[in-house]
Amino acid sequence: MRRLLETETTTGIIYSDTYAPGTDDTTAVAVLQFHDLALRILNRKSPLAGVVRLAARKIQDRRGEQYLTETGHTVTLGSAPAPGVHRRH
């Protein structure tokens, strides 16, 4: 059984763990927003955190590229600076 679920939305990717003993629920591990490509880890104790970082890195390495989402929207990856990063004028 594959534990990592990647759900793509119009604004980013939600990484979830499908293993939730005793329930049919998933647990969100992290969120990657397309506009700034900052990975926000929501569950640092998740055993999938390292796998999520690797999966997100594949998208982050494509900064500046046009990307067609599964929902049919075209976005420019990383079109905004990551939080804490200031652009020079």
Within a domain: residue 83? no
Within a domain: residue 85? no
Asked if the model's pLDDT at residue 82 lies above 70, the reply is: no
Q: Which of 10, 14, 20, 84 is nearest to 55 (CA)?
A: 14
Alpha helices (H) along 1-89? 49-60
Q: How many domains does the chain have?
A: 1
Specify the pLDDT at position 49: 93
Tokens (6 digits) for 75: 């976005």
Within a domain: residue 88? no
| pLDDT, tens digit, 9 for 90 and up, residues 24-43 | 788 899 999 999 999 999 99
- Mean pLDDT score, 57-74: 93
- Give the chain's mean pLDDT: 88
Domain coverage including residue 35 = 4-76
Specify the pLDDT at position 71: 85
